[in-house]
Structure 1
Amino acid sequence: MTLPGSVHAAGLPYQDPSLPVATRVADLLSRMTLDEKIGQMTQAERGSASATDVTTYRLGSILSGGGSAPTPNTATSWADMYDSFQTGAMATPLQIPMIYGVDAVHGHNNVVGATIFPHNIGLGATRDPALVQQIGQAVAEEVSGTGIDWDFAPCLCVARNDRWGRTYESFGEVPSIASSLSTIITGLQGTSLNGPSSVLATAKHYVGDGGTEGGDDQGNTVLSEADLRAIHLPPFQAAVQRGVGSVMISYSSWNGVKMHGNKYLITDVLKGELGFSGFVVSDWNGIDQIDGTTGFTAAEVTAAVNAGIDMVMVPTAWKNFITTLRAEVANGHVPLSRIDDANRRILTKKFELGLFEKPYTDRSFTATVGSAAHRTLARQAVRQSQVLLKNAGNVLPLAKDNNKIFVAGKNADNIGNQCGGWTISWQGSSGNITPGTSILQGIRAAAGPGTTVTYSQRGSGIDSTYKVAIAVVGETPYAEGQGDRTGTMSLDRDDLRVINTLRGKGVPVVVVLVSGRPLDIATELPNWNALLASWLPGTEGAGVADVLFGDYKPTGKLPSTWMTSVSQQPINDGDGKTPLFPLGYGLTYP
């Protein structure tokens, strides 16, 4: 006799790994109540849900918002937290595992001690699909080591206006770059989803988020359908062809219509025309933006689900969502066939991931978080992402031996600044926020016998006896929204003052620009001997030093057009505007 709830003893068809996934899904669906199905479609934030909630409400997914982490913030704590939530899922009658999502967008960036890779704009400068696939695999191992099985990456946006605060999350301004680097999906997911360290990847944000007017985050993309298809759709087509497991919808609008309610683009184009068979997830409270007023309504829930969103990210108001969706099904506004389709898609991925067989953390990967091998890979990525834009008189590469080098600037010795946003916290922050090697530390380590390296953030103490000065300047961390630059895009006064202090002693000045996008520097550039675009390199600053000293020649190429002045924004390849440096530009050493 089988006790109620003891499904493992029953050996039901959906629990038999030898059966085809479609058979298992159909069997499980036939046993599920409406409440269980709605639970599967609901994603709650870890801070507003408990393991008991997962059991009681049959929650299908939990997520960490940017910076939402257990205490202490260690890989083991994450694994323990994950397993606790999963225990809640295993206590449900059908024992359907929950799936946990995080924004691991340049490494497992919410976890202190993880390897932080260059942000996408830097990877775009490498033009190296094989390297980017390796990075995906390394990130998957670190993510797996903390239990997490779903990564809200890659961002396949095509950034068309550098004012946008998410420009650094874009691989480049033309779709071909993002399409070619969709190899990161293969790295994350592996050759099959039930591989030892594979995690579900997410192509985001569908579609047109990089094309908003004025680079306004979550704004309106005004384009013909032909242009939307030519510029913004191709990377998603590439992602679908790679078998990407999920797609996240953009906050932005297309010609005034919010993407979260756009049935044509989600159901007809993505699922129909492109043949996407995974599941669609909303962005953080994205359904709440459909009607433009705060607090989601029944009409918004219905619009989003009927548009084709399968799992809804409702971080805190998830109970309200469950009640609302149940009522909308009961009154006929949302057909049961749509609920079943959403569940079929979600459950298929859970079966393919092997979660029913292995619901808990694979602790054999926990030690890979921040491992030496992954940091070595990240350092290689930093080297390959450096774009040399000016090198008057071949001031670079620097001599390693018997040299006298002065280093200055706010980004020279600051891990937080060189990592940028989405690092430990959502917007990122300055300072020693996670273990790594600063650019200054990399320079000091690379310097050979008889070489002096002197550092002063403000440049004080420099004199004419120095053979070269390196100013490491640029932006400080930001993420979406707060990162939009609506006015000037120049260096700040402190940066300009530091550079002028160095120049005042007649010493050749090399500017290392740490930034999430091209900046407005044309008027300053004639006064600089060399310019190296380092983007946001992450934790392995030694990769910058590798190029400065010539251990490796610079090979990076601009992933976006570099403006002559901010008044040109938006400026893109082929638009007839004269750039300071064109798309694809990049010098190397003789």
Structure 2
Amino acid sequence: MKNHKPVWLLMIVFLLFPTWGCGVKGDPSRGRFRDSSLSPEERARDLLSYMTIEEKIGQMAMVDRGYLKSPHDIAEYGLGAILSGGGSAPRRNTPESWKEMVDGFQREALGTRLGIPILYGIDAVHGHNNVHGAVIFPHNIGLGATGDPELVERIGRAVAEEVVATGIHWTFAPCVTVPQDERWGRTYEGFGEDPELVARLGAALIRGFQGVPAPESLARPDTILATAKHFVADGGTTGGKDRGDARLTEEELRKVHLRPYVEAVKAGVGSVMVSFSSINGVKMHANRDLIQGVLRGELGFDGLIVSDWAAHTELPGSLEEKLATVINAGVDMIMIPDDYRGFVAAVKSLVEEGVVSRKRIDEAVYRILLTKFRLGLFERPIQEDVDFSMVGSEPHRALAREAVRKSVVLLKNDGGVLPLKKEGTRILVLGDKADDLGVQCGGWTITWQGKRGRVTEGTTILEAIRKAVSDPSLVTHVRRASQLAQVKADVIIVVVGETPYAEMYGDRQDLSLTREDAELIIHASQTGLPVVVVLVSGRPRIITDLLDSMDALLAVWLPGTEGDGIADVLFGDYAPTGKLPFVWPRSMEVLPLTIEESGHHPEKALFPYGYGLSY
């Protein structure tokens, strides 16, 4: 016999349990989550009990500011996070405008029924690099050449101070990838190819961003949430292909690529971003075994797991199927970054149909709320006493200059041509990259891919050389080899290297210098003058056939805005201490060339891992 419930009883159930029978508490103004004396865990659990399913799903959505149809949609859809992708900036790119923009978004969130503040995230990967005038530090490959965790931690502190000054509290850094093939366009985002080096420096940068001991230190107003990325083996793909497939044994995965995450979790990292790439044919965003089993279970990570930019769209199936795969794999927050209306509707449908369980939604939202409570956002959603002068401050520029000079690797110095004398030396600086701040900074600088020219405030290599010498008039700059004969000089400094690029557009099957750069070096050598080559690059380049045409060679990586650090080394104010964080390949044919492989076959390396001369 069927049990037909009276209509009035069904109506009561609906009113009491608006989330399809899932109990939701009554008056949130009396919620224990408002009591700051309770632990973040207790507060997150209590707040979760007041939330409807729509509010929970909104918290799982991260939207790029440029895709918001209206700021009011933050409140209407209960969005959990906003981000600025590379180059996604307010119309006036100033610290004050950033703060005004972020605060405006935060006020929208605070006007909702529960007043849950948003997280605002940004790729501050080598400084607060989306903000004009911020200090741009060396990319991670340069920091890897310093091998200095204490320096890296200080850099993390400086970056946090600049990020906080713009009202932002979450950086998608550090990248703790372990690149194994320099053809990969994101090689410069890794500290090096040795997992132990990456583990040490990655943990140091996390401590700098978040303070110690985390997570308690996250509540301080001068710290930001760090993100270890991209989980896992993004640097191990076959052929160095971005978003490719890493074909690995479990031993290789654990020994090389998982190692930095062990230390990141020990350092208390607050969030982890999942990789676009695959492992043995399985997309990481679908890899429940590694996300839930290893990261959550084995490593004990209890922070927030976030997807990469629209990564769910690279999975097979309908939108609902893609989202079900990612959420069920263990990702808590989805970087959509555009169609948040479609996202909310799709996830709600998945829950109604039982494809994604309410328990899984609660787990994800709990992690998001826990992160917000740990950051102190409920007590300090809008920080009133920020110091805009922190952005691009002189102490931070001095720190970046220190990092630059410690990152420079001296690879050749025949006849002791370096250091140069500051007095009475006629110096010819050759090449247009010598006076190009955008080239020095590389990708992820003001725009996503970076670009050439004076993209922000800083000192180019040419400007630094002129500042360092006693008589700047003795320094001449020419851009082309054809102009060499017009200048009398005692030494030639040739600046060559890569033009800016970032993910997707940086993969290369030929790492030789361009024909134009090679001609600069060859023509300079034909003058009979000492030739000093300064190589600006995000990875080792193939220079074997050009090495005899140089008397000295400096690998300066992507040094950022403070070119004075390079001049410090050129003129002997600082004797070089940098060591190669990668094996330098002799030719393209030997790639991929790991530390272990070069140990067995040293003839494949032009310079071994850890190589670096001094004065």
Q: TM-score range by the shorter chain?
A: over 0.9
Which structure would you say has the larger Rg? 2
Contact residue 97 and residue 356 of structure 1 kept, 8 A = yes
What is aligned with 2:339?
317
Shift of 1:174: 1.2
Distance 2:391 2:488 in 1: 44
Shift of 1:8: 11
Shift of 1:451: 7.1
What is aligned with 2:549?
527
Helix, strand or coil at the partner of 2:582: coil
Once the two structures are superposed, residues 159-187 of structure 1 have per-residue CA deviations (whole angstroms, 9 ceiling, x without a partner) of 00000000000000110111010210010
Contact residue 385 and residue 534 of structure 1 kept, 8 A = yes
Once the two structures are superposed, residues 113-137 of structure 1 have per-residue CA deviations (whole angstroms, 9 ceiling, x without a partner) of 1100000000000000000000001
Query: Counterparts of 1:427-466 in structure 2 under 5 Å?
Result: 427-449=449-471, 452-459=474-481, 460-462=483-485, 465-466=488-489
What is aligned with 1:493?
515
For the pair 1:373 / 2:399, whether they are aligned, the reply is no
For the pair 1:90 / 2:110, whether they are aligned, the reply is yes
Once the two structures are superposed, residues 366-390 of structure 1 have per-residue CA deviations (whole angstroms, 9 ceiling, x without a partner) of 2201111111000000000000000
What is aligned with 2:164?
144
Contact residue 403 and residue 450 of structure 1 kept, 8 A = no
**CA shift in 2, pair 1:368/1:450, >3 Å:** closer
Helix, strand or coil at the partner of 1:396: coil
What is aligned with 2:492?
469
Distance 1:462 1:356 in 2: 67
What is aligned with 1:358?
380
| Number of aligned residue pairs | 579
Helix, strand or coil at the partner of 1:388: strand
What is aligned with 2:5?
none
What is aligned with 1:212?
237
Once the two structures are superposed, residues 162-216 of structure 1 have per-residue CA deviations (whole angstroms, 9 ceiling, x without a partner) of 0000000000011011101021001001120011211100000000000001100
For structure 1, which segment, 296-305 or 340-349, has the greater mean C-alpha deviation from structure 2 after superposition?
296-305
What is aligned with 1:4?
none
Contact residue 176 and residue 229 of structure 2 kept, 8 A = yes
Shift of 1:63: 0.6
For the pair 1:561 / 2:587, whether they are aligned, the reply is no
1:580 aligned residue (600, 606, 609):
606
What is aligned with 2:247?
222
1:20 aligned residue (39, 48, 64):
39
Distance 1:394 1:451 in 2: 25
Contact residue 51 and residue 89 of structure 1 kept, 8 A = no
Helix, strand or coil at the partner of 2:229: strand
**CA shift in 2, pair 1:569/1:362, >3 Å:** farther
Shift of 1:18: 1.1
What is aligned with 1:3?
none
Distance 2:563 2:337 in 1: 35
Once the two structures are superposed, residues 38-89 of structure 1 have per-residue CA deviations (whole angstroms, 9 ceiling, x without a partner) of 1111101101113201100000000111111001111111000100100110
Distance 2:155 2:231 in 1: 23
Query: Counterparts of 1:108-507 in structure 2 under 5 Å?
Result: 108-182=128-202, 183-191=204-212, 192-291=217-316, 297-449=319-471, 452-459=474-481, 460-462=483-485, 465-486=488-509, 488-507=510-529
Shift of 1:365: 2.9
Shift of 1:318: 1.7
Distance 2:514 2:256 in 1: 33
Contact residue 466 and residue 472 of structure 2 kept, 8 A = no
Shift of 1:449: 4.7
| Matched-pair identity in % | 54
Once the two structures are superposed, residues 308-355 of structure 1 have per-residue CA deviations (whole angstroms, 9 ceiling, x without a partner) of 000000011221111111111111111111111111111111001010
Distance 2:537 2:385 in 1: 36
Contact residue 386 and residue 532 of structure 1 kept, 8 A = yes
Distance 1:420 1:392 in 2: 29
Distance 2:383 2:459 in 1: 29
TM-score by length of 1: 0.96
Contact residue 405 and residue 451 of structure 1 kept, 8 A = no
Q: Which one-letter code corresponds to 1:187 in the other structure?
A: G
Q: Which one-letter code corresponds to 2:210 in the other structure?
A: Q
Consecutive unaligned residues of structure 2, counting only runs of 5 or more, are 1-25
Contact residue 469 and residue 509 of structure 1 kept, 8 A = yes
Distance 2:285 2:472 in 1: 61
Distance 2:580 2:334 in 1: 37
**CA shift in 2, pair 1:462/1:144, >3 Å:** farther
Q: Which one-letter code corresponds to 1:55 in the other structure?
A: A
Distance 2:383 2:517 in 1: 46
RMSD: 1.4
Q: Which one-letter code corresponds to 1:148 in the other structure?
A: I
Distance 2:143 2:488 in 1: 37
Once the two structures are superposed, residues 76-108 of structure 1 have per-residue CA deviations (whole angstroms, 9 ceiling, x without a partner) of 110001001001101100000000010000001
Distance 1:468 1:145 in 2: 44
Contact residue 51 and residue 86 of structure 1 kept, 8 A = no
**CA shift in 2, pair 1:10/1:322, >3 Å:** closer
1:549 aligned residue (571, 580, 584):
571
For the pair 1:65 / 2:85, whether they are aligned, the reply is yes
Helix, strand or coil at the partner of 1:270: helix
For the pair 1:38 / 2:60, whether they are aligned, the reply is no
Distance 2:362 2:472 in 1: 71
What is aligned with 2:120?
100
Contact residue 51 and residue 87 of structure 1 kept, 8 A = no
Helix, strand or coil at the partner of 2:160: helix
Once the two structures are superposed, residues 520-570 of structure 1 have per-residue CA deviations (whole angstroms, 9 ceiling, x without a partner) of 000110111000000000000110000000000000000000000011111
Q: Which one-letter code corresponds to 1:23 in the other structure?
A: E
Distance 1:450 1:271 in 2: 58
Contact residue 468 and residue 507 of structure 1 kept, 8 A = yes
Shift of 1:22: 1.6
Q: Which one-letter code corresponds to 1:164 in the other structure?
A: W
Distance 1:163 1:412 in 2: 25
Q: Which one-letter code corresponds to 1:43 in the other structure?
A: M
Helix, strand or coil at the partner of 1:193: helix
Q: Which one-letter code corresponds to 2:232 in the other structure?
A: V
Helix, strand or coil at the partner of 1:571: coil
